[in-house]
Amino acid sequence: MSPSTITSGSDKRWWPQHCTWEITLECDLRCRHCGSRAGQARPRELDTAECLDVAAQLADMGTELVTLSGGEPTRRADWDEIARALVKRGVLTNMVTNGVYREGLPAHDVARRALDAGLCNVGISIDGPEPIHEAMRGRDTFRRTLAAIDAFNSVGMQVSVMTTVNRLNLPVLPETRQIAIDAGAATWRLQLAHPMGTMERHQDLVIRPRQLLDLLPMLVRLKNQGGIKLIISDSIGYHGPQDTELRNRTVGGRPVRWMGCQAGLRVVGIQADGGVKGCLSLQARWGDDDPFLEGNLREARLSEIWNRPGAFAFNRQQTTEGLTGACGDCRHAKACRGGAKCMAAAVGHVLTENPYCYQVVNDADTRRVRRAAVGAAAAAAMLALGGCGCSGPKTPPSSYDEPQNEPVTAPEYAAPAYDPDLVAEYAVQQPEPDVTDEYGVRPEPEPDVRAEYAVEL
Ligand code: SF4
Ligand code: SF4
């Protein structure tokens, strides 16, 4: 079904092309970077009949891809029944799973059921070599995760390894890529750790914006090495020199750059209790009432919620003029509209500017280098004029103001060093057993979701 079939009166530019559906918040792990603080099921999660109805509604609205997530989706006994209902209606369906299954649920059984249900692929996280992975996800998870990938591979199910970039694993991304290749993954998908959910209490593990100067060129190098398809999520960008190459998107055969957050435009998120949001990565950080909840599927049909006048206003009504900070002055603002709204919300509690932008940090770095060059030129001139500068001119010659003729480039950014002490510090603590809201799988507002997820048809 195409977007033109959307209910009459709705804006035909917008339809829920990609849905991330948290089918339960229950999870056996308590990962340090879990955006949802998953653990226990939400109160009153949708039952099987309600889920099957939601699957039908998504298909009727033209949804092309549904990502089943959690929590851990396999904690529900009916996860494959829900998947099958979507697949039967022609919806590409995949699943994000932690690969660490409870006793009595062998990984091979999960893999076989996923294949039988018709899932197009599964996403499983590897957050680095064993010590780093387990510092983030808990003890004895690395070996079991690799065994799960092996089980999916053995039944012929395509696996996408997912890595959440943080301060621990930034220095070892090349090794992490090799682990994904050795495990037989078809794609390696990277996203930034957001300071939200459980990670809100581990903000020291979130990389600093300036580290994008290291990350993005590194990702280009890793991508060009081949061996695995590298995909970056919405949180990594924007509009820097690497964007087209890393994002790997085309429209009409032409490469395109990041096209702005699609929450509520072409992306929808559904919570296990029927709550509907533009995207599950948008966190409620301003109190108990989640400002991003647009309605509940127990009270209204998805089409009503989606097409309600004023729905998803934070994004549908976002104008270039409404952007603030560096985004307000940015030459890419029209296309970019402030980068990832989830990151903006998590970092700055606003939706109108995003400090995690290559463009912003690179410009700041260039200005810093310019200032340093001006300072160095002034100091050299003072030395030439008599040492300490006390006898020099009060006002330096205008040529000191700016080294106009010299190319100004950012310095080589020193890659962060692997810090075994930091890893050990996190390895000795067990992740907290917290339970509340949200989960975020980075959905992609893709013109062609099949290419984005490397789905073979
Ligand atoms: S400054 Fe803002 S609008 Fe410009 S590219 Fe970066 S995130 Fe996008
Ligand atoms: S992941 Fe972030 S940028 Fe992407 S649609 Fe969701 S809120 Fe927007």
Report which protein residue has its CA nearest ligand 2's atom 3.
340
* Distance between Cα 451 and ligand 2 center (Å): 18
What residues does 164 pair with on adjacent strands? 191
Q: What is the pLDDT of residues 156-185, one digit of tens each?
A: 999 999 999 999 999 999 999 999 999 999
Q: Does 413 score more than 50 pLDDT? A: no
Q: Which of the residue ranges 194-198, 308-312, 429-433 would you say has the lowest mean pLDDT?
A: 429-433
Q: Does 436 score more than 60 pLDDT? A: no
Q: Which of the residue ranges 136-150, 237-251, 300-314, 440-454 would you say has the lowest mean pLDDT?
A: 440-454
Are the C-beta atoms of 330 and 359 separated by less than 8 Å? yes
* Segment 316-320 mean pLDDT: 93
* Distance between Cα 267 and ligand 2 center (Å): 8
| One-character DSSP codes across 3-69 | GGGS-TTS-TT----EEEEE---B-S---TT-TT--BSPPTT---HHHHHHHHHHHHHTT--EEEEE
How buried is residue 422: exposed, middle or buried, by Cβ count under 10 Å (0-12/13-18/19+)? middle
* Distance between Cα 127 and ligand 1 center (Å): 27
Of the listed ligands, the closest to the CA of 235 is 2
What is the number of the ligand 2 atom nearest to the C-alpha of 263?
Answer: 5
Q: Which of the residue ranges 51-60, 136-145, 303-312 would you say has the lowest mean pLDDT?
A: 136-145
* Distance between Cα 59 and ligand 2 center (Å): 22
**Which among 320, 404, 329, 334 is positioned nearest to 364, based on CA atoms?**
329
* Residue 334 CA neighbour count, 13 Å, CB half: 1
Band of pLDDT at residue 255, cut at 50, 70 and 90: confident
Strand segments, DSSP code E, in 101-171 are 121-125, 159-165
Q: Which of the residue ranges 5-14, 267-276, 301-310 would you say has the lowest mean pLDDT?
A: 5-14
Cα separations in angstroms, 236 against 203, 206, 265, 271: 18, 13, 20, 24
* Distance between Cα 235 and ligand 2 center (Å): 7
Are the C-beta atoms of 60 and 72 separated by less than 8 Å? no
Of the listed ligands, the closest to the CA of 322 is 1
What is the number of the ligand 1 atom nearest to the C-alpha of 337?
Answer: 3
Q: Which of the residue ranges 261-270, 288-297, 371-380, 413-422 would you say has the lowest mean pLDDT?
A: 413-422
How buried is residue 38: exposed, middle or buried, by Cβ count under 10 Å (0-12/13-18/19+)? buried
* Segment 377-393 mean pLDDT: 53
Structure-token match 């090495």, residue found: 225
**Residue 394 — φ and ψ, nearest 5°?**
-65, -40
Report which protein residue has its CA nearest ligand 2's atom 8.
261
Q: What is the pLDDT of residues 22-43, one digit of tens each?
A: 999 998 888 877 777 778 888 8
* Segment 382-390 mean pLDDT: 51
| Neighbouring C-beta atoms of residue 48, cutoff 10 Å | 13
Q: What is the pLDDT of residues 101-160, one digit of tens each?
A: 888 889 999 999 999 999 999 999 999 999 999 988 888 899 999 999 999 999 999 999
Are the C-beta atoms of 40 and 88 separated by less than 8 Å? no
Q: Does 368 score more than 90 pLDDT? A: no
Query: What whole-number percentage of the chain has pLDDT above 90?
Result: 57
Q: What is the pLDDT of residues 61-110, one digit of tens each?
A: 999 999 999 899 999 999 999 999 999 999 999 999 999 988 888 999 99
Q: What is the pLDDT of residues 226-250, one digit of tens each?
A: 999 999 999 998 988 888 889 877 7
* Distance between Cα 268 and ligand 2 center (Å): 10
Report which protein residue has its CA nearest ligand 1's atom 6.
357
Mean pLDDT of the chain: 81
Per-residue DSSP letter, 294: E
pLDDT given for residue 397 in this prediction? 28
Structure-token match 């009060």, residue found: 394
pLDDT given for residue 284 in this prediction? 59
> Is 318 close to ligand 1, i.e. is its CB under 6 Å away?
no
pLDDT given for residue 185 in this prediction? 96
What is the number of the ligand 2 atom nearest to the C-alpha of 345?
Answer: 7
Q: Does 305 score more than 90 pLDDT? A: yes
- The pairing of strands 92-96 and 121-125 is parallel
Of the listed ligands, the closest to the CA of 340 is 2
Q: What is the pLDDT of residues 190-216, one digit of tens each?
A: 999 988 777 777 788 899 999 999 999
pLDDT given for residue 22 in this prediction? 96
Q: Does 447 score more than 80 pLDDT? A: no
Q: Does 331 score more than 50 pLDDT? A: yes
> Is 327 close to ligand 1, i.e. is its CB under 6 Å away?
yes
Q: Does 437 score more than 90 pLDDT? A: no
d(CA 202, CA 164) in angstroms, rounded, equals 14
| One-character DSSP codes across 199-227 | GGGGGGGSPPGGGHHHHHHHHHHHHHT-S
> Is 344 close to ligand 1, i.e. is its CB under 6 Å away?
no
Report which protein residue has its CA nearest ligand 2's atom 2.
342
